[in-house]
Amino acid sequence: MALASARRLAAAGAVTAFIVGGVTMAAGVGTAMAADCKLLVLACEDDPVQGGDPGDPWQPEVRPPHLPVPDDVWSDVPVPRDTWSNAPAPQDTWSSGPAPQETWSSGPAEPPRPEAPWKPADEERHRIPDGPPQTGAGGLAPADPMWPFAAGGAALLAGAGLAGFAVRRGAAERRSG
């Protein structure tokens, strides 16, 4: 009896969780679409649709630029309307025209501030620094010696070997005598 009630309760909880999850997800999708149309796979209305049904007669309005396609410039035909060759250059307004008035520099210019003449520190300001100068970074210092570690390790190994040998010999002595 109690088991059946628990099953029903679990089923009701699962259904509730499913509904709540679905609603939450729908709300999240809607919010995300409102924030950025391109966030999801769903397309916005004002985006051109790519692909679609091949039988659909609608085509996106494509306006290619009305520029003349130039001929191949690598062959021996003349290049059409190349403005950089012997054609007259257009009037460049930046060279012969009057310079525009710069409003930020038209005010009275400040005279360059003269560099203050060097002056030694007054004697009252003389003071003894705290501590010695730290004028070295160790580039010439020899590296730490490694031989004590090598020798110490070898000695430890030798000691362990000797100890093992002594233990074996002691065992042998006990057996023999």
Partner 1 sequence: MAKPPGHKPIMVGAVLVSLAGLALIWFGITGMAGAPESAPASATTGTALPEAGGAPALTEPPEALVGRVAAPMRTARPTAVYIPKLGVSAPLMELGLDARGAIENPPLDHPNVAGWYRYAPVPGARGAAVITGHLDTRTGPAVFANLRSIKAGDQVQVMRADRSVAIFVVDRVEQVAKSAFPSRKVFGKVTYAGLRLVTCGGAFDRKAHSYRDNTIVYAHLAHAYHPGS
Chain residues in the site for partner 1 (CB under 8 A):
118, 120-121, 125-142, 144-149, 151-163, 165-170, 173
Q: Which is nearer to partner 1, 28 or 170 (CB)?
A: 170
CA distance 171 to 62: 99
> Reduced to 3 DSSP states, what percent helix, strand and coil does the chain have, rounded to the nearest 5?
40, 0, 60
CB 79 within 8 A of CB 71: yes
**Closest distance between partner 1 and the C-beta of residue 114, in Å?**
17
Burial level of 15, CB count in 10 A (0-12/13-18/19+)?
A: exposed
**Closest distance between partner 1 and the C-beta of residue 101, in Å?**
44
**Closest distance between partner 1 and the C-beta of residue 111, in Å?**
25
Q: Which is nearer to partner 1, 38 or 169 (CB)?
A: 169
**Closest distance between partner 1 and the C-beta of residue 174, in Å?**
9
Q: Which is nearer to partner 1, 99 or 146 (CB)?
A: 146
Q: Which is nearer to partner 1, 98 or 136 (CB)?
A: 136
**Closest distance between partner 1 and the C-beta of residue 126, in Å?**
5
CB 38 within 8 A of CB 44: yes
CB 71 within 8 A of CB 80: yes
In the block, which residue shows the tokens 């009896």? 1
Which residue, among 15, 46, 20, 41, has the nearest Cα to 29 in the 3D structure?
41
Q: Which is nearer to partner 1, 52 or 161 (CB)?
A: 161
CB 36 within 8 A of CB 42: no
Which residue, among 154, 176, 153, has the nearest Cα to 168 in the 3D structure?
176
